[in-house]
Structure 1
């Protein structure tokens, strides 16, 4: 018996968030000492190549895989899907940043975004409600401080964590609209978080 539309949507959103959270594992081999940061970069580049190949098959060749139909939203049917934008921003963070900044920025997307998404009930072009903003900020701050405090000391480290969490929450909760199209937060959260942290480091030394 088919699931009611609301139950089906809830199941799909849960599965999307589960896939989303899976990206948290990307830097774990580095943290455990199994990979160097350079090897982590190679791995993310390889994963990006696979993802872009899958998107080419979907968008250009027309491969209609059941997984695509289940985990992509209607507005992604003729554009790069959220998971591809996710992979682009994750790979960009690893390639352009050192671990102290890159890993919190990545986890703000892989952990913070699903948490805030579970508290939100909005369309892609709409702002999230205050509870989602607050949850996103607190989760992102909590993810950053284990990296920023050891690197920069308590005072500067807390400020750097705040400077990363705040723009991450804004990028998550208030999507920029370009020509009527919302820019996916899968693409904007890591650079927003990293930019805030780098700015704080530059100002505070």
Structure 2
């Protein structure tokens, strides 16, 4: 049966198809990775919704074992072309531990090392600081992100920290998280991933403020 659509309808369908393809490409690229990053806020949210902290710790330690196994498959077994790896990893991670795995490790470290008052806001800061800093920092990587990236990351970290911490303590965690996000860190030729430095840095700053800050902030 001949196509009954008018030339205008065909053109409209083509534009819709192109638009959907563009959306899909973005979701499968950097935007998709950032959405996955933000979705990690669901992990500390489980505690907020009532999951016992010990179970959250077990969940994260189990998560470390799972991502460790996935990374072994990717790096040692030649399975880097799996769909999950194509959409969770970047090109420069082809021969190193990927950021998604270090994300889980970073959360697990603070969950095991700190109590919930410190660990939970640090996990939320990890989930929001990197995507916000990445969007505001622009597409071209630089050793130090623009000031707007620091400010944006700090503001969202402060907002997610305030429900759990005194304002000055939340601000200290936000400063640590935004610096960890905004400054490229390297040690002896190895890049230090901000999925580790954001939660650990934020938790350390919060812990120090609670332990040694002025008495009126506790």
- Fold match (TM-score > 0.5): yes
Task: Give 2:191's match in structure 1, choosing from 163, 182, 204.
Answer: 182
1:182 deviation in Å?
2.8
Match of 1:12 in 2: 29
Match of 2:170 in 1: 161
1:78 deviation in Å?
0.4
TM-superposition CA deviations, 1:15-74 (whole Å, max 9, x none): 0011111210112222122x2100111111111111111001000111130231233111
Aligned with 1:90: secondary structure?
A: helix
Distance in 2 of aligned mates of 1:74 and 1:49: 23
What TM-score results when the alignment is normalised by the length of structure 2? Answer: 0.82
**Counterpart check, 1:43 vs 2:59:** yes
- Measured on the aligned residues, the alpha-carbon RMSD in Å equals 2.1
Distance in 2 of aligned mates of 1:91 and 1:123: 30
**Counterpart check, 1:24 vs 2:41:** yes
Equivalent residue runs for 1:1-205 within 5 Å: 8=25, 12-33=29-50, 35-63=51-79, 64-121=81-138, 123=140, 126-148=143-165, 157-204=166-213, 205=215
Aligned residue pairs total 194
Distance in 2 of aligned mates of 1:96 and 1:61: 32
Distance in 2 of aligned mates of 1:111 and 1:203: 27
Stretches of structure 1 lacking an aligned partner (at least 5 in a row):
149-156
Aligned with 1:146: secondary structure?
A: coil
Structure with larger Rg = 2
Distance in 2 of aligned mates of 1:188 and 1:143: 18
Stretches of structure 2 lacking an aligned partner (at least 5 in a row):
1-16
Distance in 1 of aligned mates of 2:38 and 2:75: 25
- After TM superposition, what 4+ stretches of structure 1 lie above 6 angstroms from structure 2? 1-4
1:126 deviation in Å?
2.2
| Contact preservation (8 Å) 2:88, 2:100 | no
| Contact preservation (8 Å) 2:111, 2:119 | yes
TM-superposition CA deviations, 1:150-170 (whole Å, max 9, x none): xxxxxxx11111111111111
